């Protein structure tokens, strides 16, 4: 197989990265050392440069599911990718609630850019809002499925079995963004909810450098200068546990998710 394998992913808390890297590593190993390139678009600086893929490329593209869809903060960037005849594998990673229409949306976006989508998968990652929902996933069992999936992809590419369009789960027209409800059953909008900072903050600035929206103020990391997408990076990665949310509806939603979706879901593969 004369191909270059690339991963392109957004991953605020690392679960999407683990899934797509696992797929990529295994495809490359099957191809006995095919060249591999990793394109991480999690930080704003990495979403500045547009990229180009040709018929020599196989690109594994991974995004987390936000509100049942592809994160809308990534749409401009994904739409700026230039493609001429490249193959793609569409991957979404969700926090054990549901991936709703994220995978079909990602497949459609990639096809509209000119990719030939030859395989797709929905995987489970620890939920961005929680340290218990889908805790530590993707885990060993997931990685075994990922390895098997990569083997099938490799076989499909080697045998050039890539003629028909790929069917994935999802509904068209896509359902609108999933909206959580408050205790009165009324839809709530978390866009204005922002992380707070407690006295454990050591001003190490890690959160400033890892915020995918570049929103945390360098001089005063308790201040926010832009939007917060509730990605969980500053909360989960702070070495001093200094970041937290206190919004009542957000915390209620988090708890509800942990209770209602505690049953383990399994990866779904389309190939
Ligand atoms: C704003 C937001 C919305 C989310 N919406 C969903 C959802 O609709 N369904 C779900 O199961 N998980 C949802 N999640 C959880 C993430 O999809 C999941 O935790 C994923 O593994 C995070 O990927 P990352 O570790 O690469 O950042 C959401 C997370 C965030 C931040």
pLDDT at 152: 97
Q: Which domain holds residue 159?
A: 4-174
| Average of per-residue pLDDT across 59-65 | 98
Decide if 155 is inside a domain.
yes
pLDDT at 32: 85
Claim to verify: residue 108 and residue 205 sit in the same structural domain: no
Claim to verify: residue 106 and residue 203 sit in the same structural domain: no
| Nearest atom within ligand 1 for CA of residue 233 | 27
pLDDT at 165: 87
218 CB burial (10 A radius; 0-12, 13-18, 19+): exposed
The two tokens of residue 229 are 């997408």
How far, in Å, CA of 129 to CA of 167, rounded? Answer: 30
Find out whether the beta carbon of 42 lies less than 6 Å from any atom of ligand 1.
Answer: no
pLDDT at 127: 98
Find out whether the beta carbon of 11 lies less than 6 Å from any atom of ligand 1.
Answer: yes
Whether pLDDT at 108 is above 90 = yes
Whether pLDDT at 1 is above 90 = no
CA of residue 91 to ligand 1 center, whole Å: 13
Claim to verify: residue 133 and residue 242 sit in the same structural domain: no
Task: Among 114, 142, 174, give the residue marking a domain's end.
Answer: 174
Claim to verify: residue 136 and residue 207 sit in the same structural domain: no
Claim to verify: residue 204 and residue 115 sit in the same structural domain: no
C-alpha count within 13 angstroms, C-beta hemisphere, residue 153: 35
Q: Return the ∠ at Cα 125 (arms to 179 and 236), rounded to 5°.
A: 85
Task: Among 114, 140, 174, give the residue marking a domain's end.
Answer: 174
Q: Where residue 233 sits, what CATH number does that domain have?
A: 3.30.70.20
Residue whose C-alpha is closest to residue 229's, from 71, 101, 94 = 71
CB 5 within 8 A of CB 24: yes
Claim to verify: residue 150 and residue 200 sit in the same structural domain: no
CB 15 within 8 A of CB 136: no
How far, in Å, CA of 115 to CA of 51, rounded? Answer: 13
pLDDT at 16: 98
Decide if 185 is inside a domain.
no
| Average of per-residue pLDDT across 110-118 | 97
Pairing of strands 57-64, 87-94: parallel
Q: Where residue 47 sits, what CATH number does that domain have?
A: 3.40.50.360
Q: CA 98, 173, 11, 198: dihedral to nearest 10 degrees?
A: -70
Claim to verify: residue 201 and residue 142 sit in the same structural domain: no
Claim to verify: residue 166 and residue 200 sit in the same structural domain: no
What DSSP assignment string belongs to 18-46? HHHHHHHHHHHHHTTS--EEEEE--SGGG
User: Looking at the 3D structure of the chain, how many domains does it have?
Assistant: 2
Residue 166 phi, psi (nearest 5): -90, 130
Decide if 187 is inside a domain.
no
| Average of per-residue pLDDT across 20-24 | 97
Task: Among 174, 207, 227, give the residue marking a domain's end.
Answer: 174
CA of residue 163 to ligand 1 center, whole Å: 32
| Average of per-residue pLDDT across 222-245 | 98
pLDDT at 65: 98
Q: Assign 160 a pLDDT band (cuts: 50, 70, 90).
A: confident
Residue whose C-alpha is closest to residue 54's, from 114, 108, 7 = 114
* pTM tops 0.85, yes or no: yes
Decide if 181 is inside a domain.
no
Claim to verify: residue 42 and residue 97 sit in the same structural domain: yes
Decide if 267 is inside a domain.
no
Nearest CA to ligand 1 atom 23: 64
Claim to verify: residue 58 and residue 139 sit in the same structural domain: yes
pLDDT at 164: 80
Decide if 135 is inside a domain.
yes
Claim to verify: residue 170 and residue 205 sit in the same structural domain: no
Q: Across all residues in the chain, what is the average pLDDT?
A: 96
Find out whether the beta carbon of 12 lies less than 6 Å from any atom of ligand 1.
Answer: yes
Claim to verify: residue 136 and residue 236 sit in the same structural domain: no
């Amino acid at each position: 197989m004369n191909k270059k394998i690339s991963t392109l992913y957004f991953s605020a808390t690392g679960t999407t990265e683990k899934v797509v890297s696992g797929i990529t590593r295994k495809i490359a190993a099957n191809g006995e050392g095919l060249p591999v390139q990793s394109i991480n678009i999690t930080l704003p600086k990495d979403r500045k440069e547009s990229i180009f893929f040709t018929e020599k490329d196989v690109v594994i593209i991974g995004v987390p599911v936000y509100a049942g869809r592809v994160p809308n903060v990534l749409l401009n960037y994904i739409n700026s990718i230039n493609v001429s005849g490249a193959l793609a594998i569409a991957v979404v990673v969700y926090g054990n609630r549901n991936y709703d229409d994220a995978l079909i949306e990602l497949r459609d976006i990639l096809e509209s850019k000119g990719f030939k989508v030859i395989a797709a998968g929905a995987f489970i990652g620890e939920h961005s809002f929680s340290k218990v929902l889908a805790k530590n996933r993707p885990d060993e069992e997931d990685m075994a499925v990922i390895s098997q999936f990569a083997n099938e992809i490799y076989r499909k590419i080697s045998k050039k079995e890539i003629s028909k369009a790929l069917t994935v789960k999802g509904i068209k027209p896509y359902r609108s963004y999933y909206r959580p409800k408050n205790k009165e059953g009324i839809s709530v909008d978390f866009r204005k909810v922002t992380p707070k900072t407690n006295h454990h903050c050591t001003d190490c600035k890690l959160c400033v450098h890892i915020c995918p929206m570049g929103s945390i103020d360098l001089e005063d990391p308790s201040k926010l200068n832009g939007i917060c997408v509730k990605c969980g990076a500053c909360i989960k990665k702070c070495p001093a546990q200094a970041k937290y949310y206190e919004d009542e509806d957000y915390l209620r939603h988090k708890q509800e998710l942990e209770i209602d979706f505690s049953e383990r879901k399994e990866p779904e593969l389309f190939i």
